């Protein structure tokens, strides 16, 4: 095999693939990236047996072939090469790869491509979503998914197909984030599916600039693809909890406040919260919101923010980390805080943006 690349084309592909080609594996070849050239196209592939990514790379083929090499080592080398010179990559005897750029020559050991796992093919029902919509629903929800929950069905995002919309949901049982978009036309007998969190992060990276993404579903596999890349992943098996039950149908009161003011005040006040639980106090009335924290060993802090519109009063405790992360993923200038009491889930809704809601379970305040 003999290939020539521009640095940026090869480096971008390797950086996308590195998240899947993990070094923490009992199978050394899974730390490698497969480079294959055939039929006039060059493809780079990585997989951890759960998530697989295949990317087309711009380049010139002098000789067809295939080899696997360490994804990290190859990316590290390419990253340091000069940008104004082309990169020449060729296989030599004994599965060696020789990389030439300008006056530099680098030789690394590879493994034969025959040992590399084949990515599953998904030929089932397909649907199309704009890249902007896909990235938006993932960005607004993925932060709320559980990361190490024994209830494995919480370690992913749930796509729920409804007649008038598709809802994307994430929850770790303490908080919940929901975003919805136009309805999909799913395969028959498919009401929804759970995409694992690791795959979600790779989807965001792989399709960061895609105009449209095609989604194909087949049994326990799902495939995301655009003109340049293909990502396959196993779906999480299990029934997602009935999240609709904890979303209040109606709220008694609400307060509208500047998102940035509340976010920055929370960050500052949280510096003097108890590091064991990061609890802060929110005191909301019709005119203002006071954010405060008091820790005997550290001290105390409070800030007061004006309310743009408000009804009702409440005092609640809340984990500052959860509030900061929630506000960070709300993109509107103002946020509506909707509440029914001190211990009921409190909803945060961006003003002027339909289809996005975040819930946080309050903490009990110490007297």
Residue 216 domain-assigned?
Answer: yes
Question: Percentage of residues in the chain with pLDDT exceeding 90?
Answer: 78
Q: Are residues 302 and 190 in the same domain?
A: no
The pLDDT score that the predictor gives to residue 189 is: 76
Residue 82 domain-assigned?
Answer: yes
Residue 365 domain-assigned?
Answer: no
Question: Domain boundary residue among 115, 146, 166?
Answer: 115
Residue 195 domain-assigned?
Answer: yes
Question: Domain boundary residue among 245, 276, 306?
Answer: 245
178-187, 256-265, 290-299: the lowest-pLDDT one: 178-187
Give CA–CA dist 278/272, Å, rounded. Answer: 9
Question: Domain boundary residue among 115, 134, 168?
Answer: 115
Dump pLDDT digits (tens) for 119-156: 877 676 788 899 999 999 999 999 999 988 778 889 99
Q: Are residues 235 and 252 in the same domain?
A: no
DSSP letters, 106-175, are EEEEEE-GGGSPPPPP--SEEEEEEHHHHHHHHHTTGGGS-SS-SSGGGSEEEEEE-SS-EEEEEE-SSE
Q: Are residues 40 and 151 in the same domain?
A: no
The pLDDT score that the predictor gives to residue 218 is: 82
Q: How far from 294 is each of 269, 289, 302, CA to CA, in Å? A: 9, 17, 9
Give CA–CA dist 359/339, Å, rounded. Answer: 10
For residue 234, give its domain range.
Answer: 125-245
Instruction: Note whether 75 and 14 are within 8 A (CB).
Output: yes
Residue 367 domain-assigned?
Answer: no
124-133, 205-214, 320-329: the lowest-pLDDT one: 124-133
Mean of pLDDT over the chain:
92
Q: Are residues 87 and 163 in the same domain?
A: no
Q: Are residues 106 and 169 in the same domain?
A: no
CATH number at residue 103: 3.10.150.10
pLDDT at 335 over 70: yes
In the chain, how many domains are there? 3
The pLDDT score that the predictor gives to residue 24 is: 67
| Count of CB atoms situated within 10 Å of the CB of 249 | 5
N residues, the chain: 367
Q: Are residues 184 and 292 in the same domain?
A: no
């Amino acid at each position: 095999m003999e290939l020539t690349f521009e640095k940026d084309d090869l480096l971008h592909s390797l950086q996308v693939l590195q998240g899947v080609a993990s070094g923490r594996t009992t199978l050394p070849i899974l730390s490698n990236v497969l480079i294959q050239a055939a039929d006039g196209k060059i493809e780079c592939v990585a997989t951890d047996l759960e998530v697989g990514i295949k990317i087309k790379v711009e380049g010139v083929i002098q000789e067809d072939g295939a080899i696997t090499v360490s994804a990290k080592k190859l990316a590290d080398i390419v990253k340091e090469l000069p940008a104004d010179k082309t990169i020449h990559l060729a296989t030599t005897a004994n599965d060696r790869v020789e990389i030439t750029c300008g006056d530099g020559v680098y030789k690394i050991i590879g493994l034969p491509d025959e040992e590399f796992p084949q990515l599953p093919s998904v030929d089932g029902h397909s649907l199309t979503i704009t890249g902007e919509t896909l990235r938006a629903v993932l960005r607004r929800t993925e932060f709320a998914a559980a990361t190490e929950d024994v209830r494995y069905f919480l370690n992913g995002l749930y796509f729920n197909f409804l007649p008038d919309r598709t809802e994307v949901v994430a929850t770790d049982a303490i908080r919940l984030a929901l975003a919805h978009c136009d309805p999909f036309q799913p395969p028959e007998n498919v009401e929804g599916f759970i995409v694992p969190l690791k795959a979600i992060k790779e989807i965001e990276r792989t399709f960061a600039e895609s105009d449209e993404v095609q989604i194909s579903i087949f049994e326990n596999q799902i495939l995301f693809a655009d003109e340049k890349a293909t990502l396959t992943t196993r779906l999480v098996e299990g029934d997602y909890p009935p999240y609709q039950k904890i979303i209040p149908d109606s709220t008694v009161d609400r307060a509208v406040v500047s998102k940035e003011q509340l976010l920055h005040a929370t960050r500052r006040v949280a510096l003097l919260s108890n590091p064991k639980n990061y609890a802060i106090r929110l005191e909301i009335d019709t005119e203002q919101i006071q954010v405060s924290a008091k820790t005997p060993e550290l001290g105390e802090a409070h800030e007061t923010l004006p309310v743009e519109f408000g009804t009702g009063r409440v005092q609640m405790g809340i984990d500052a980390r959860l509030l900061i992360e929630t506000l960070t993923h709300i993109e509107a200038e103002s946020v509506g805080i909707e509440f029914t009491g001190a211990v009921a889930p409190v909803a945060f809704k961006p003003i002027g943006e339909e289809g996005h809601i975040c819930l946080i379970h309050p903490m009990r305040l110490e007297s």
